[in-house]
Structure 1
Amino acid sequence: MRLRRDKGTQGDRNRKRGIVRFFRDLFVIFFVALLISFLIKTFLIRSFYIPSGSMENTLQVNDRIMVNELVPDLITIARGDVIVFKDPGGWLSATEQGTVEAGNPVADGIRWFFAEVGLSAQETNDHLIKRVIGLPGDRVACCDTTGHITVNDAPLSEPYLKASSGTTRSPEKYFTVTVPADSLWVEGDNRDNSADSRLHTTTPSKGFVPMANVVGRAFVITWPVGHWSWLDNYPNTFRGTGQDR
């Protein structure tokens, strides 16, 4: 006697297999997407948020930026670049680091996970962002008779600076430094409110940022939408300061 299949039972099995395959494929796609995002974050680009006003008006508090991590290992740093770097030691203060407060453990864990795989801006207490003023071998000084910083005796006309509040520039000091090998001299665009190389000459790095501490070059503001823009390094400002190295 020939037995007939129970069509209803076979149909249920097919549907179950289809659902299993769907969720399997969905998991594979999700895993691959996370892997790609992690690799991009690790080797190519990373997102950061701006915790302080030291780079105003170029960058506002809570702006999100993308950072090219191929700099400086594969792409050289130029004067005028905006860079993210790890604290060389003794630079960060309560006002500069943007401390992340503890909250719900589950929510904090989710934020940490998405930051680690590169799907959200990284919240960190040990990174800073400034503009490169001096490259290795440059002689940076403040100031000439017109009040401009000079690089290799060439005065800088800096259009990116936030207008002074009218008070004396307390962070600005008279100085003349020569940038050592494999190091950088950096300053914030908000010179009235930026604890940068000028104010850290007594720290272990003597105000210089070791090239090894550079995470990468910030190249675009991604959020909020109204602030979207590419970040310029103003080559005309540094024209005449010497050949970039």
Structure 2
Amino acid sequence: MDRGEIGQERRRRFPRRRVQMPLWQELPLLLIVAFCLAVLIRSFLLQAFFIPSGSMENTLLVGDRVLVNKIVYDVRDPKRGEVVVFRGPEAWAPQPVDGGDPGLFNKIGRTFGDLIGVSRPGAKDFIKRVIAVGGDRVSCCDDQGRVMVNGKGLDEPYIYDNSPLDVAPAAGECRSRQFAEVVVPPGELFVMGDHRGVSQDARCQGPIPVDNVVGRAFVIVWPQDRWKNLSVPDTFDGIPPPTSGGAGGGSGAPLPSQGSPLPGKGDIVVTMPIFASVLFLARSRRGLPDRQRRLRP
């Protein structure tokens, strides 16, 4: 056996051991990679949103966390009955937001939380249900006190504490159930809260641009006992197509929102890459020496 064959035999029987980075160096690197993944997920795919007010009761309660699909409306338009998170247009008055401690560490914490999707609610972030889409004619009320879309009265089982019928409409307020017929402009949505008695929505603030929609809220993930899908009710089945004509109207005030000052189980999808990376590191470090030992002669 010549020298070359001897060298190959030695390399086969005694493979070169991989130099392993110490844990104190490898862990920060993995955390940085996981953080970048979380930021990407938050920016383009999913985000956890905190519900700070009661405008969507009892579908959504104060303190609930929902997951929002941020990519679905890149491939299609919002549909009637879906619950959406959006940025309020200029005509929508901002909702009050607790500023909290303006200290340096608080600002750093908020910035970090916003990056991974667990920030405080924004003053111009809202969550409502889509009632009508571009081209629809929407008004209230029919002889049963129901909202009408393209002439069809809606039976809305999700409504909680409806606005009174005997209160006259007033500019800038949504206290009344009644509002004049609106023809929703193309590329816009007519949205309303499920808690009609307190919700400040398109009745008095006007439709919102589809471009302002952040995404669709599709599941409640926290508290654990309220875990459920936010499916579209059959309320909107059988609505006739819009007809031409009609008049528009609306202007007004605000409501619900995004983010959350504290991470919870509702944010698990956003932070999952961190835990997965740490788990992978632990398993790989535990298994590597065994594999190396098996390779030795």
Q: For this structure pair, what is the TM-score category when the shorter chain's length is used for normalisation?
A: 0.7 to 0.9
Secondary structure of 1:192's aligned partner: coil
Q: Does the alignment pair 1:83 with 2:88? A: no
Deviation at 1:231, TM superposition (A): 0.9
Q: Distance between the aligned counterparts of 1:61 and 1:167, measured in 2?
A: 26
Aligned to 1:184: 189
Aligned to 2:72, the other structure's residue is in SS state: coil
Question: Within 5 Å, which residues of 2 pair with 1:86-105?
Answer: 86-93=87-94, 96-105=95-104
Rounded Cα–Cα distance in structure 2 between residues aligned with 1:185 and 1:91: 13
Partner of 2:73: 72
Deviation of the 1:229 alpha carbon = 1.4
In structure 2, the CA distance between the partners of 1:108 and 1:224, relative to structure 1 (3 Å rule), is: farther
Contact between 2:82 and 2:130, CA under 8 Å: does it hold in 1?
A: yes
Distance (whole Å) between structure 2 residues aligned to residue 52 and residue 226 of structure 1: 19
Opposite residue 79 of structure 1, the aligned amino acid is R
Which secondary structure does the structure 2 equivalent of 1:72 belong to?
Answer: helix
Structure with the largest fraction of helix: 2
State the SS of the aligned residue for 1:141. strand
CA distance in 2, matches of 1:101, 1:242: 48
Separation in 1 of the partners of 2:164 and 2:138?
25
Maintained 8 Å contact 2:220/2:230? yes
Q: Is the 8 A contact 2:67 2:219 kept in 1?
A: yes
**1:147 positional shift:** 0.5
CA distance in 2, matches of 1:164, 1:178: 23
CA shift, 1:21, in A, is: 2.0
1:61 maps to 2:62? yes
Whether the aligned pair in 1 keeps the contact of 2:85 and 2:127 (CA below 8 Å) is: yes
* Matched letter for residue 140 of structure 1: V
Aligned equivalents of 1:195 and 1:71: distance in 2?
26
Q: CA deviation at 1:82?
A: 0.5
Contact 2:163/2:196 (8 A) holds in 1 = no
Q: Which of the pair has more CA radius of gyration?
A: 2
1:104-153 deviation per Cα after TM superposition (whole angstroms, max 9, x unaligned): 431442243033123x2553222111100001111111111111111111
Percent identity, aligned pairs only, is 39
Change in CA separation of 1:168 and 1:71 when aligned onto 2, cut-off 3 Å = farther
Specify the SS of the correspondent of 2:74: coil
- CA 1:129/1:57 → structure 2, altered by over 3 Å: closer, same or farther? same
Q: Report the equivalent of 1:41.
A: 42
Tell me if 1:211 matches 2:216.
no
Match of 1:237 in 2: 235
* 2:115 is aligned with 1:116: yes
RMSD: 2.3
**What residue in structure 2 maps to residue 138 of structure 1?**
136
Which runs of at least 4 in structure 1 moved beyond 3 Å after TM superposition?
A: 96-100, 163-169
1:199 matched to 2:199? The reply is no
Q: What is the CA–CA distance in structure 2 between the aligned matches of 1:237 and 1:55, rounded to whole Å?
A: 17
Aligned-partner residue type, residue 185 of structure 2:
P
Match of residue 150 from structure 2 = 152
Measure how far apart 1:44 and its partner are. 0.5
Q: Which amino acid aligns with 2:198?
A: N
CA spacing shift, 1:138–1:165, aligned 2, 3 Å: closer
* Equivalent residue number for residue 8 of structure 1: none
Residue 27 of structure 2: SS of its match in structure 1? helix
Q: How many residues align?
A: 217
Using a 3 Å threshold, how does the CA distance of structure 1 residues 168 and 52 change in structure 2: closer, same or farther?
farther
- Conservation of the 8 A alpha-carbon contact between 1:52 and 1:98: no
TM-superposed deviation, 1:167: 8.4
Q: Tell me if the contact between 1:88 and 1:213 (Cα under 8 Å) persists in the aligned partners.
A: yes
Mean CA deviation greater in 138-147 or 170-179? 170-179
Give the match's secondary structure for 2:181.
strand
